[in-house]
Amino acid sequence: MKCNIAIVLAAFLTLLTAGPARAQQSSPPGEPTSLSDLLDEAERNNPQIQAARHGWDSAKQSSTQVSTLPDPQFVLQHVSVGSPRPFAGYTNSDFAYVGLGISQDIPYPGKLRLRGEIASKEADVTQHRYESVRRTVLAAVKSNYLQLGYLAKQQAILDDDAKLLEQVEQAAEARYRSGMGNQHDVLQAQLERSKLLREITTNQLEAGKVQAEIKQILNRSQSSPDIRTAQLSETTIAFSYDQLLAAANSNNPEIAASKKMVERQALQVDLAKKDFYPDFNLQYMWQRTDPTQFRAYYSVTLGVRIPIYRSRRQQPELAQAQADQSRAKSEQEAQTQQIAFQLRQQFLTAEKSAQLLKIYREGLLPQARAELQAGMAAYQSNRQDFQALLASFLDVLKLDEEYWQTLSEHEAALAQIEAVTGLSLR
């Protein structure tokens, strides 16, 4: 009986000491979908990206509209003399005539140009917001893909350990029947196996939720086949925080949009100042009387719209534009600080998680497996009880899961850094 127990314990110890690589050997069958393929699919099909792109296409059409002169107005005029009947007095009075004219509103010089530049800046803001939406969606795809990869690893670990714990339970039962063990060991093994089954079910539930979310992002049917991920691997970050921050300041769409908004509001201030000046209206009229007796008339009229309500219209407009300009500058500063804060958080997460992964690989996992191996030898020679052996087993299980969780967090932090900086770190 002691030999059988040793064989069982040696079997699960062999699998446990395989380390993180054992989860790769237990990955589900089937061809995995690469992350790059999913990112391309999201760019093509995600409705948020499509809506933002259409919004940008729409905004690009505004500049020429607002920078073009107002449509001219054509006038047909008829004046009769002595009677309301058409053409009354046309042959005997030079006051009766038929006239054709055109009228054109002309804003003060510089207003149309400023309106066009303001619309162009708004289109630039919309473009950067489109890029921000695109990066946010792609970061969500990466995050969910990495989470799926972690959950697949965890599922493989739990499945293997459930089988091993079942063998441990059988060994405890055999030891109890032979009189060498006690019933408490059997019950404890059964309890731990039930807990493991609970973790497996919880893992499957979480994986189902992530599958549903990534299908929504990709605009796939929820009944479509589940996505299989490639193996998780650690990515080394080759940039310092200062380099990443410089890239973010140059490439981040939120910062770029806030800069364009400041420029837009500066142009709005200039336009508000232009509104203190008059606009014009130019009219030309040709009037035709009886051509056999009277000559035609030609008239040119220049009208001026004088802004006489400056204290109630133009001055508040200027004050509003200046306040909006100050607000845009403050928002730009806040956005820059927010991006720097987010980048610092993700950089620290990536940096410290890389250190943790090294600690797991070179310290915690080898030490825990060595302790389990020593505990197995002591248990076989009746120098250690079942509780201590089970605790060593659970330590290895917990540390193995923590290793993959840390790796997932490390890669997710890099995905967020890519979204903030626009760099490709993989």
H/E stretch holding 287 reads: strand 279-288
Residue-wise pLDDT for 37-55, tens only, equals 999 999 999 999 999 999 9
Report the CATH number that the domain containing residue 226 is assigned in CATH.
Answer: 1.20.1600.10
Q: Check: CB of residue 156 under 8 Å from CB of residue 71.
A: no
The answer to whether position 98 is within a domain reads no
Give the model's confidence band at 338: pLDDT under 50 very low, under 70 low, under 90 confident, else very high.
very high
| Residue ranges in 219-283 assigned as alpha helix (H) | 241-251, 253-274
Higher pLDDT, 7 or 102: 102
Give the model's confidence band at 197: pLDDT under 50 very low, under 70 low, under 90 confident, else very high.
confident
Q: What angle do CA 327, 328, 329 make, to 5 degrees?
A: 90
The answer to whether position 340 is within a domain reads yes
Q: How far apart are CA 285 and CA 74, in angstroms?
A: 10
The answer to whether position 119 is within a domain reads yes
Q: Check: CB of residue 396 under 8 Å from CB of residue 113.
A: no
Q: How far apart are CA 109 and CA 111, in angstroms?
A: 6
Q: How many CB atoms lie within 10 A of CB 309?
A: 9
- What percent of the chain lies above the pLDDT cut of 70? 85
Q: How far apart are CA 338 and CA 420, in angstroms?
A: 11
Q: Is 216 exposed, middle or buried (0-12, 13-18, 19+ CB in 10 A)?
A: middle
Q: Check: CB of residue 102 under 8 Å from CB of residue 96.
A: no
The answer to whether position 7 is within a domain reads no
The answer to whether position 155 is within a domain reads yes
Q: Token pair 């080759």 is at which residue? A: 238
- Hey, what are 354's tokens? 């890389």
Higher pLDDT, 232 or 205: 205
Residue-wise pLDDT for 284-307, tens only, equals 999 988 888 888 899 999 999 999
- Return phi, psi of residue 299, to 5°: -135, 145
Domain count for the chain: 1
Q: How far apart are CA 330 and CA 334, in angstroms?
A: 6
Taking the CA atoms of 13, 18, 20 and 21 in sequence, report the sign of the dihedral they define.
Answer: negative
The overall average pLDDT reported for the chain is 85
Q: Check: CB of residue 407 under 8 Å from CB of residue 237.
A: no
- Predicted pLDDT of residue 414: 93
Higher pLDDT, 380 or 324: 324
The answer to whether position 408 is within a domain reads yes
Q: Which structural domain range is residue 357 located in? A: 31-69+107-160+205-275+313-421
The answer to whether position 93 is within a domain reads no
- For the ranges 20-24, 51-55, 202-206, 354-358, the lowest mean pLDDT is seen at 20-24
Q: How far apart are CA 320 and CA 131, in angstroms?
A: 29
The answer to whether position 396 is within a domain reads yes
